A and B are shown apart, each in its own frame.
Chain A
Amino acid sequence: MDWPVVWESRGILLHGFAVTLELSAIAIVGGGIVGLVVAVIRFARVPVVGPILRVYINIGRGTPLLMQLFFIFFGFPYFGINIDAFAAAVIALVAYTGAYVAEIVRSGLESVHRGQRDAALSLGLSFPQMMRRVVIPQAGIVALPPLVGLFIGVIKDTSLTTIIGYNELMNVSQSIVARAPNAIFTVYVVLAALYFIVCYPLSLLASRLERRALVGQQR
């Protein structure tokens, strides 16, 4: 084991870790907002826009994230739009996450009993009031566990952005290994540990939310 190499590189490793966390947060928050808006538009059966968004969802979920990254990073310059690795990573991850969030949230919204909408509307609530105060809170209990599961995947998938040279944790680790090939095992153990300490608590959270959702259904 080559702990000295890791110790010497702690500065850039932690920096890479911070970059990964930052990219993950942007992807989750951005994708979450995009997905919620798309889900509500589809739920409301908005004509024209709804079906178009369906195409977005199908492409977002039906193609590899790696391909989406390439497409944006190399494809945009082809059309004369210059884009750096960070912007490409953000666009691809937000679009990808948004497509999945949209479907998870939409199925959560659809799971809320039709009568809830009837009751809210017959009390005179507007569509936004009904969504915000009646439908979304109930959908949230159903949608939250799979969302957290998705977000764990997104955190790990940020590592794919190393391929377009974005300076996140995976990329940093590779550069350390390139300089000290003998340390490869140790560096990747540390790398794994860093992803794990973020993702494992989230998976615990997901199972807790899932238990709560089941209890909620019985209530």
Chain B
Amino acid sequence: MTELEGDRAGSNGANRDIVVVSHVYKKFGATAVLRDVSMRVCTGEVVVIIGPSGSGKSTLLRSVNGLERIDAGEIWVDGIPVHRRKNLRQVRTRLGMIFQQFNLFPHLTALDNLTLAPNLVLKHSRTEANEEAMALLDRVGLKDKARAYPGQLSGGQQQRVAIARALAMKPAVMLFDEVTSALDPELVGEVLNVMRGLARDGMTMVVVTHEMAFARDVADRVVFMDAGVFVEEGPPGTIFTSPADPRTKQFLRRVLEK
């Protein structure tokens, strides 16, 4: 992997590769979910991964922060080898992950959801963590919900809290795993708006989504995945208007029709 060595050596450049996925394979039982997947994400870039359910998008995202163990290949995050599974906690503090099911901690208030990890992992003092958390809740428009428990919030509000919780760790990259799929249609917009704001502020983002309009507007690069492989990738303009592969065409025709 000499090409990768080169990237890591230049890791102080302005637009360096912060996530490098290289020839990754992953099986669940007899099913191959990832087959020779390679991807690079540059700092400041927004990469949107689209594709049918079961195509391996979520597994790829979960592999990047080590929630899934890959069978072969390499994953580097900010120069740290995730596939060696040694410094996973260090890797995870640089990655913010947002889930389809929000996964807020139901026994903690919104504020405590945000301060838990900064307090435990980054050793921030209570007051420091609280101040930052309030600022982040303000940023996602939920300052007045600081004392509310997740069960008292709508799905859209919960997901915005989840985004704020990930931001509280000051991650270098944010991973979004179908974050609007569990939401009522009228609540999707408020979450996507927060994500648009992040993209505008230059956050590096890898987004798995079925929201094609979002992909078209926000993505720097769109990747189409099917059956565990990267079928094609390119700027949204190209992928959405003139996809090269018949599988991409067929998928887009199906999702854009409805």
Majority-rule SS of A interface residues: helix
Contacts of A20 in B (CB 8 A): none
Sort chain B's interface into a size bin.
Answer: 20 to 34
- Using known A-B contacts A121-B92, A123-B169, determine if residue A115 contacts B106 with beta carbons closer than 8 Å: no
Chain B residues whose CB sits within 8 angstroms of the CB of A119 once the complex forms: 97, 99, 103-105, 162
- In the complex, the answer to whether B95 meets A122 with C-beta atoms within 8 Å is yes
**Residues of B contacting A219 in the complex (Cβ-Cβ under 8 angstroms):** 106, 149, 151-152
Inter-chain contact B107/A123, CB cutoff 8 Å: no
Q: Which of the listed residues A119, A122, A138 has the most CB atoms from chain B within 10 Å of its own CB?
A: A122
A-contacting residues, B79-113, CB 8 Å: 88-90, 92-93, 95-97, 99, 101, 103-107
The reply to whether the CB of A207 lies closer than 8 angstroms to some CB of chain B is no
- Contacts of B169 on A, CB cut-off 8 Å? 123-124
Q: Is A133 located at the chain interface by the 8 A CB criterion? A: yes
Could you tell me which residues of chain B, from 140 to 180, have a CB within 8 Å of some CB in chain A?
A: 149, 151-152, 162, 165-166, 169
Per-residue 0/1 for B113-132: is the Cβ within 8 Å of any A Cβ (1 yes, 0 no)?
A: 00011001100000000000
Residues on the A chain within 8 Å of B95, using CB: 122
Residues of B within 8 A of A115 (CB): 99, 101, 103
Chain B residues positioned under 8 Å from A125 (CB to CB): 89, 116-117, 120-121
Complex alpha-carbon distance, A122 and B96, angstroms: 7
Chain B, residue nearest A116 (CB):
B103
Whether A181 is near chain B, meaning CB under 8 Å from some CB there, is no
The answer to whether B67 and A121 have CB atoms under 8 Å apart is yes
Name the one of A118, A121, A122, A129 contacting B120, with C-beta atoms under 8 angstroms: A129
Residues of B within 8 A of A (CB): 62, 65, 67, 88-90, 92-93, 95-97, 99, 101, 103-107, 116-117, 120-121, 149, 151-152, 162, 165-166, 169
Residues of A at the B interface (CB closer than 8 Å) are 113, 115-116, 118-126, 129, 133-134, 137-138, 141, 216, 218-219
- What are 7 pairs between A and B in contact, CB < 8 Å? A113-B103, A119-B97, A121-B88, A122-B92, A123-B93, A123-B165, A219-B106
